[in-house]
Structure 1
């Protein structure tokens, strides 16, 4: 299992490419990194700039480029345009997906999310494990009675305390939001690379959202970010710190962790690819609704 680099750029830099190496120039210092060992680059510096050749190379090589804005949160993602004929066939299969299939897929996605939330609570010895497991077993087609939202209220209170609310600001939510953005970007990048359209979702369908499908597929992966943040809080003792580059570097390292999917362990970004490839198989086969989704276990935190 080849582990690749996830690079975080926090100071003003020039990024270019030469002889299949990323050149990362900061003042008079130049760092050379072979392009084929890079998985992603997060640029959190408002005055960094890139060569056009580098952007083209990153797209060809399937490397995720995430750019943060002046608030230091991810805001831009480099996506490839799939021009291969297979990409067009994949898009046609996506567009022909029937509503019944989508309803089954969303039911299974919500079940997986609730089970992973229950697994997190179990791993850390918290309450409400059985409640969430029971909810997962009762999810209806298309989650018609919104077990996902009901479970979320129970889950976040059990995990982060009675005073916690996802819509509030603060350190914990900043950690979660940054982590979710990283994983969402990886998912969107993989979707586009497979010739699928990120705007067309299974359940999410906002015409204002360019990443509806990514927002569908991230759901069972969110508890992995939650677990990583909870583990950090538990081991660092930080509760209400200033969210800074140290925390971002830690969150980017989530892609160094392995995930259980289909009975095997893969690095997180490879697991994401497994999920998207299984979704593509569903789109192509009308009789197939088997979506490969990750299972959160204690080995993820090793």
Structure 2
């Protein structure tokens, strides 16, 4: 089972018998057996025919539309999870403020830790004052996170971390790719365009795994009001943004696998768009990232894609009371060693702060 990406301009996805058909300029370019496709990702302004849409949704293959700027436009799916013990328990805990707060705090801790770790790795070889100060402040936010006792305060920590992190990250990139803030709509620099694209693809993968285990992706615990996004997907994404999306984007620009020449001239609104060839290049490296091996704290070596699936199942086990706490993925890094993932345990009675030493 694989993801079908529609990237080349003026492409229409159709269906005939048991095959998805890719047409360009009224000519058939390829046929893919329907049963081999798990999800479809279409980049604007390409199209999918009504017939192909109907077939895909009837077979529970979600369709994601992504804009030329890289952000998610529409997420189509007709999947209605059947009433089950898992779904009943999810709704119960969705309404449980204590459960939701503890889970949200756990995920924000993973977000802050992983972003801080990524900054430390980059700052190790090319230090900037902005990054050094951001690392110190993020560590302080982590230290005080257990004292946060409201949803509003958690959002303050979340937003404060973003306001520190992204300018620091920008200062560590090659000069032509440096940026000063996270801005998804519209993306007015190269990196924000790449981040939009990576976050959209990460969202789609998590959505698929959430749907497969019969959860309702609209019942989140931290992200309660999302536009064009699903709350539970946004919640679980927090632990993966830095080690998957941001690490990939940094590697692509630092290694010059993507350069300024891979972007089209800014449009009338100042948006920086990837060329069609560069978009295919990004997707190639995205798939390579998802199939890269990482040392998981419980299962040993596994791919990042498997990590996504594993963490969704861990959330299900937490909902059902099979485990006492949800263990998000924390990235650890030491000089001259690859990234690894390890657990940090948290229960209602016990919280542990992660040391950066």
Instruction: Indicate the residue corresponding to 1:113 in structure 2.
Output: 111
Aligned-residue Cα RMSD (Å) equals 3.4
Instruction: Indicate the residue corresponding to 2:321 in structure 1.
Output: 285
Tell me if the contact between 1:6 and 1:252 (Cα under 8 Å) persists in the aligned partners: no
Instruction: Indicate the residue corresponding to 2:51 in structure 1.
Output: 52
Q: Deviations along 1:43-88, whole A, 9 cap, x unmatched?
A: 124352235356434663x6442223576643122324235443xx
Q: Deviations along 1:251-301, whole A, 9 cap, x unmatched?
A: 433233235544434433332222221111222218622234363767579
Distance 1:215 1:192 in 2: 14
Q: Does 1:206 align with 2:225?
A: yes
Tell me if the contact between 1:120 and 1:296 (Cα under 8 Å) persists in the aligned partners: no
Instruction: Indicate the residue corresponding to 1:135 in structure 2.
Output: 141
Instruction: Indicate the residue corresponding to 1:230 in structure 2.
Output: 250
Tell me if the contact between 1:16 and 1:24 (Cα under 8 Å) persists in the aligned partners: yes
Distance 2:330 2:35 in 1: 26
Name structure 2 gaps, 5 residues minimum.
172-177, 265-272, 341-357
Instruction: Indicate the residue corresponding to 1:92 in structure 2.
Output: 88
Q: Deviations along 1:121-153, whole A, 9 cap, x unmatched?
A: 233335434553453343225673633333322
Instruction: Indicate the residue corresponding to 1:249 in structure 2.
Output: 280
Q: Does 1:10 align with 2:8?
A: yes
Distance 1:262 1:78, change over 3 A: farther
Q: SS where residue 145 of structure 2 aligns?
A: coil
Instruction: Indicate the residue corresponding to 1:28 in structure 2.
Output: 27
Number of residue pairs matched? 296
Tell me if the contact between 1:199 and 1:209 (Cα under 8 Å) persists in the aligned partners: no
Tell me if the contact between 2:107 and 2:328 (Cα under 8 Å) persists in the aligned partners: no
Instruction: Indicate the residue corresponding to 2:352 in structure 1.
Output: none
Name structure 1 gaps, 5 residues minimum.
none
Instruction: Indicate the residue corresponding to 2:350 in structure 1.
Output: none
Q: SS where residue 204 of structure 1 aligns?
A: coil
2:80 aligned residue (79, 82, 99): 82
